[in-house]
Amino acid sequence: MANNNNKSATKVVIPCRISFANIWEPKSINGSEEKYSVSCIIPKSDKATLAKIHKAIEAAKEDGKSRKWGGKIPGNLKLPLRDGDVERADDEAYAEAMYVNANSKDAPQIVDRKVQPILDAMECGSGDYCNVSVNFYAFNANGNRGVAAGLGNIQLIKHGERLAGKASAASDFEEIEGEEDAAGAFGSEDDLPDYLK
């Protein structure tokens, strides 16, 4: 259960499946400043979470009206809540889901279900189910105006099937029986095609 001591109108703890999880090391995207980032995938059936996100985005828009956009909300804002069926139609993980891409210059704290720190990068990554704290905020930079999602912290709820696009060692290899025998492990020269002999 989320601790609501630091309640803010623009902050939401999002229960989601994470993807493109650059949460252990910052990464530069298209030559931009290095940041920690994650894509939060929320099923369209999770109406309660989507309503909380919408409410937080609206609060960020109201804040931006006075602080960033000269007293009115522009009509062509870039918004962080996206439709996976439309914008990522070729990615099965985003089917029947909405998503939010969140990022931060600061590393997120990553904890387990008991709020104990996770220090091993192999323990939490793309495909896992997590609670992700996100703060929505207004921006006005280089002619672009909108609401962005700031990455807070991450709580691992349960492991999911990997979405990293990289196979696990268990799926690449079979168990090797018997003693270590380097000569036998690689077969004989007779097994090679002529151009490799």
| pLDDT tens sequence across 151-192 | 999 999 999 998 865 555 666 777 777 666 555 555 666 666
Q: How much is the average pLDDT of 22-40?
A: 94
Quick one: pLDDT band at residue 137, thresholds 50, 70, 90?
Answer: very high
What whole-number percentage of the chain has pLDDT above 70? 84
Q: What percent of the chain has pLDDT over 90?
A: 70
DSSP structure class, residue 142: T
More confident residue, 13 or 164: 13
- Give CA–CA dist 41/96, Å, rounded: 10
**pLDDT for the residue numbered 83:** 98
Residue 195: pLDDT over 80: no
- Indicate the burial class of 102 (C-beta count within 10 angstroms; 0-12, 13-18, 19 or more): buried
User: Rounded CA gap, 35 and 124, in Å?
Assistant: 18
pLDDT tens-digit profile of 64-114?
998 999 899 988 899 999 999 999 999 999 999 999 999 999 999 999 999
Q: What's the mean per-residue pLDDT of the chain?
A: 89
181 three-class SS: coil
**Whole-angstrom Cα distance, residue 117 to residue 107?**
13
Query: What does pTM read for this prediction?
Result: 0.80
Show the domains of the chain with their CATH numbers: 11-164 (2.40.50.140)
